[in-house]
Amino acid sequence: MFYFSFQNSFKNFPNKAFAVDLFSNQKTTLHFTSSILPSLIITFTANMHGLVIKSTGSWYSVLADDGERYNCRIVGKFRIKGIKTTNPIAVGDRVKFDLEKDSNQGLINELLPRKNYIIRKSINLSKQAQILAANLDMAILVVTLASPRTSLGFIDRFLVTAEAYDVPAVLVFNKLDLFSKEGLEILQEFKNIYENIGYPCYQVSATKGINIPVIQELITDKITLISGHSGVGKSSLINALLPDRDLRTGEVSDWSDKGQHTTTFAEMFELPQGGFIVDTPGIRELGVIDIEKEELGHFFREIFKTSHNCRFNNCKHVNEPGCAVIEAVNNDEIAISRYESYLSIYHGNDTRH
Ligand code: GDP
Ligand code: ZN
């Protein structure tokens, strides 16, 4: 590494002023970072801005505002208040970095504020969280009514998660070419449930190319996460949206055989019309994050709206007297399937599949 060689040669310099003078005819930036002190890091071409489009854990591929891609590492420590993370920076992050002289390698020195981020908590006791992606503009859940069937419970869990992360969610019903007349009626029922509460629904066939231009337009200039059960057609959809990239379909993605650590690998693919698709095995099935029982109702849009009319302001909508949510379910104003999903998550039952 370029900066390590300079680091060593500066060890004998009496002070940093001397080091600066030495390069004063160049655009030089000096960093002192707690993790590497007392060494100096010398970099050139300061204050580049870019978007992190790939992360392998220690290296980040950054698409700079000048349109070039740079391999970057992190300088110093980045911390996010309140959570312990294994990786401080993720795909979708906007960063500032300094470029090393005559190379396409850079050092990230600042993380710009995020509008949202999604994490995966470790299941062991360390309670560490891994940031999977940041600054998502949209999360698409690919849904199929048959082979395989996506349950309403799974859809609702996904939507709760998206609400909790503050990522706008849409549903894309795939394999439209396989639908019978009866299937189309069920599709309409499903769409009614979700469109009524404000989630846009689309129906496509990834392999037959039906309605793909609609999705293309939908994701233009956005950072979009594509999620869903294995087998619903995520790879096929991504292939249809990114004609130049050929994802292998019908296979479980796994990079571990190439020595990559699967848990830290994530990548975004640039769309020809502008925007990015986030694809990483770790977030293909976005699970439900920890949500306090008391807060669960906040993440069901229609339950949250209706709950203002409950008699008790701490109503859990389970069996309380004067519960406006239960009344709305009885009056068919709230879909029974949605309320069942609420109760199921509330009681800690796993109906994900
Ligand atoms: P993934 O596991 O979600 O990435 O799903 P794949 O893209 O690998 O698709 C799983 C299977 O469904 C493959 O055999 C695809 O050819 C098939 N498939 C995907 N989309 C469609 C579609 O729109 N119509 C039909 N008939 N099959 C599809
Ligand atoms: Zn209530």
Q: What is the DSSP string of 234-275?
A: HHHHHHHH-TT--PPTTS----GGGT--GGG-EEEEE-TTS-
**What is the rounded distance in angstroms from the CA atom of residue 65 to the CA atom of residue 96?**
10
**Which residue bears the tokens 């790939």?**
54
Identify which ligand lies nearest to the alpha carbon of 145: 1
Closest by CA position to 288, among listed 151, 91, 154: 154
Identify which ligand lies nearest to the alpha carbon of 281: 1
Q: The domain at 293-346 falls in which architecture? A: Orthogonal Bundle (1.10)
Minimum CA distance residue for ligand 1 atom 19: 233
CB-CB contact of 78 with 111 (8 Å): yes
DSSP state of 296: G
Q: How far is the CA of 249 from the centre of ligand 1 (A)?
A: 7
Reported as a single tens digit per residue, the pLDDT across 152-185 is 999 999 999 899 999 999 999 999 999 999 999 9
DSSP-derived pairing of the beta strands 129-134 and 105-111: unpaired
**What is the rounded distance in angstroms from the CA atom of residue 60 to the CA atom of residue 111?**
13
Task: Name beta bridge partners: 266.
Answer: 55
**What is the rounded distance in angstroms from the CA atom of residue 218 to the CA atom of residue 202?**
10
Which residues form the pocket of ligand 1, taking CB atoms under 6 Å from any ligand atom?
174-175, 177-178, 205-208, 228, 230-236, 249-250
Minimum CA distance residue for ligand 1 atom 15: 233
pLDDT at 8: 32
Model-level pTM?
0.81
Q: What angle do CA 274, 280, 285 make, to 5 degrees?
A: 110
Q: How far is the CA of 145 from the centre of ligand 2 (A)?
A: 31
**Number of Cβ atoms within 10 Å of the Cβ of 294:** 10
Please give the backbone phi and psi of residue 44, each rounded to the nearest 5 degrees, phi first: -125, 165
Distances (CA, A) of 193 to 58, 145, 298: 43, 15, 18
Q: The domain at 2-118 falls in which architecture? A: Beta Barrel (2.40)
Q: Quote the distance between the C-alpha of residue 147 and its chain's center.
A: 26
Q: What angle do CA 129, 62, 285 make, to 5 degrees?
A: 40
Where the chain has pLDDT below 50, the residues are: 1-39, 248-264, 351-353
Identify which ligand lies nearest to the alpha carbon of 334: 2
pLDDT at 293: 87
Domain with CATH 1.10.40.50 in the chain: 293-346
Minimum CA distance residue for ligand 1 atom 26: 175
CATH 3.40.50.300 holds for 136-253+266-283: yes
Radius of gyration of the chain (CA): 24
Report the b/e string of 59-92 with b at 16+ CB within 10 A.
ebbbbbeeeeebebebbbebeeeeeebebebbbb
pLDDT at 335: 98
Q: H helices within 137-287, ranges in order? A: 152-165, 181-196, 212-219, 234-241
**What is the rounded distance in angstroms from the CA atom of residue 309 to the CA atom of residue 42?**
62
Domain with CATH 2.40.50.140 in the chain: 2-118
Q: Which atom of ligand 1 is nearest to the CA of 204?
A: 23
Minimum CA distance residue for ligand 1 atom 10: 231
